[in-house]
Amino acid sequence: MRFGEILTPSALVDLDKVERNTRWMSQRAHALGVRLRPHVKTHKCIEAAQLQVAGHFGGITVSTLAEAHYFAEGGFTDITWAFPLPLGRVVEALELTNQIERFAVVVDHMETLEVLEKEADKRCETVCVYLKLDCGYGRAGVQADDPTAMDLARRLSESPRINFRGILAHAGHSYDCRTPAEILRVAQEERDNAVLFAERLRHDGIAVEEVSVGSTPTMRLVEDLEGVTEIRPGNYVFFDLFQANIGACQIGEIAFSVLSTVVGRYPQRDAIVLDAGALALSKDPGVHPQNPLFGLLTHPETGQAWTEGLLGGLSQEHGKVSWKGAETMPQIGDRLRILPNHSCLSAACHPVYYVLRGMEVVDTWRPCRGW
């Protein structure tokens, strides 16, 4: 297929940039002295994951059981499901432990552990488990200063059906930052909280083999990871406009875009309409939720930004653009590439990615879907 034959809206992946981004993070992990267990939820496809693990031990992180099954079938044998284990999926998770070399789950409640132990005991299974630590994000995980956290860690370490791996944390609040200095502060907070909690557990006689942390912004800027054993960034494989706006990457490093066509042109009201709406881009408003822009419009071949156009509104299939200057306003049938605010969500809207080197379509990648 030639570039001009791609129907719109479609997801595009710049393979040169993906290769550069994955090499950079691989080298970064080596320089920091940690293992790289990349998160694959951004792209959910085998080909990108293979680029991410090159030069490392091959372990990955997933966000859904559907991803775990898909990557296990694709040859990945060391998988961590970095999501609080739902009680209704315990049996399915245990079945995966027999299919690959290592499948680890995450818990942060005693109730979950009790159900997991009961089901593992029925099957005479042993399952790898991480204790989820909240290092400031406030989404999931135990609080380090909560006495029940120590009780849960001890129960994990003493259970005959649990192979307690250690601590897993995620500094999702790095996405609330707006400057590299703020991101660095959160990265240090993430490391310190996880390492200090692990040391407390060890001091209390609880073995902690792994201290796993990481998000793309924090791993991009962190300077020291002493005490950490592995990192789990994921978005860096594509990056996106959000990462660029908070200082975690440059615009030129963004490897994912959405190709769209002008379907409406209204110079009398300084507007055009695109065929890429919320179901092609997601409705993530980016860093300015009170005055949202849903992506950066760029030239389909040169990548130059169309600063005259602002993608300020989305409906299900429509992208609504205000355009300054009728003389530069695109014509009906012209195409634009949109750099989305959040590549993870935008990529999840598409059943296939068209993989490019320059303007040549060199491959198609088909991600997994579902939960």
Q: Please report the pLDDT score of residue 8 as a whole number.
A: 98
pLDDT of residue 163: 97
Determine the Cα angle at 322 with ends 321 and 327, to 5°. Answer: 110
User: What is the CATH classification number for the domain harbouring 88?
Assistant: 3.20.20.10
Strands 360-365 and 353-357: antiparallel
Does some domain include residue 268? yes
- Residue 45: what are its φ and ψ, rounded to 5°? -140, 150
Where residue 108 falls (left for φ over 0; alpha for ψ -120 to 50; beta otherwise) is alpha
| Domain CATH code at residue 291 | 2.40.37.20
- Please say which residue of 183, 203, 235 terminates a domain: 235
273 and 157 within one domain: no
pLDDT above 70 (res 323): yes
> Pick from 193, 208, 235: which residue ends a domain?
235
In a domain, 243, yes or no: no
pLDDT for res 290: 67
The per-residue pLDDT for range 232-265, each reduced to its tens digit, is 999 999 999 999 999 999 999 999 999 999 999 9
pLDDT one-digit tens code per residue, 90-104: 999 999 998 999 999
Do 183 and 108 lie in one domain? The reply is: yes
| pLDDT at 267 > cutoff 90 | yes
| Residue 244 resides in a domain | no
Tell me whether residue 370 is in a domain. Answer: no
Same domain, 131 and 210: yes
Q: Which of 176, 180, 232 is nearest to 28 (CA)?
A: 232
Same domain, 323 and 214: no
- 82 lies in the same domain as 200: yes
Q: Do residues 255 and 321 both lie within one domain?
A: yes
Q: Is residue 287 part of a domain?
A: yes
pLDDT of 288 above 80: no
Helix then strand count (H, E) for the chain reads 11, 17
Boundaries of domain holding 173: 15-235
Q: What percent of the chain has pLDDT over 90?
A: 92
CA pair distance 285, 282, nearest whole angstrom: 9
* In-domain check, residue 242: no
Mean per-residue pLDDT, 108-119: 97
Q: Please write the tens of the pLDDT for every residue from 136-193.
A: 888 999 999 999 999 999 999 999 999 999 999 998 888 888 899 999 999 999 999 9
Choosing from 203, 235, 267, the residue where a domain stops is 235
Name the nearest CA neighbour of 159 among 116, 189, 194, 123.
116
Per residue in 59-76, pLDDT tens? 999 999 999 999 999 999
Q: Which two tokens stand for residue 352?
A: 């296939």
| DSSP annotation string for 196-229 | HHHHHHHHTT----EEEE--HHHHHH----TT--
pLDDT at 289 over 80: no
Helical H segments across the chain, by residue range? 15-32, 46-53, 65-73, 90-97, 110-122, 147-158, 180-203, 216-221, 241-246, 278-281, 343-347
- My answer on whether 269 and 225 are in the same domain is no
| Same domain membership, residue 154 and residue 41 | yes
Q: Is residue 245 part of a domain?
A: no
What's the total number of domains in the chain?
Answer: 2
Distance (Å, rounded) from C-alpha 165 to C-alpha 226?
18
Dist. CA 218–CA 299, nearest whole Å: 31
Q: What is the mean pLDDT of residues 282-311?
A: 89
> Strand 296-298 relative to strand 335-339: parallel, antiparallel, unpaired?
antiparallel
Summarised one tens digit per residue, pLDDT across range 211-236 is 999 899 999 999 999 999 999 999 99
Under 8 Å between Cβ of 193 and 131: no
pLDDT of 292: 76
Task: Tell whether 272 and 207 lie within a shared domain.
Answer: no
Q: Mean pLDDT over all residues of the chain?
A: 95
What are the strands, taking DSSP E only, across 250-298?
256-266, 271-274, 296-298
User: Do residues 219 and 299 share a domain?
Assistant: no
Higher pLDDT, 24 or 174: 24
Q: Are 217 and 131 members of one domain? A: yes
- Predicted confidence at residue 178, as pLDDT, reads 87
In this structure, the answer to whether residues 54 and 106 fall within a common structural domain is: yes
Q: Among 168-172, 269-273, 295-299, which stretch is predicted with the lowest mean pLDDT?
A: 168-172
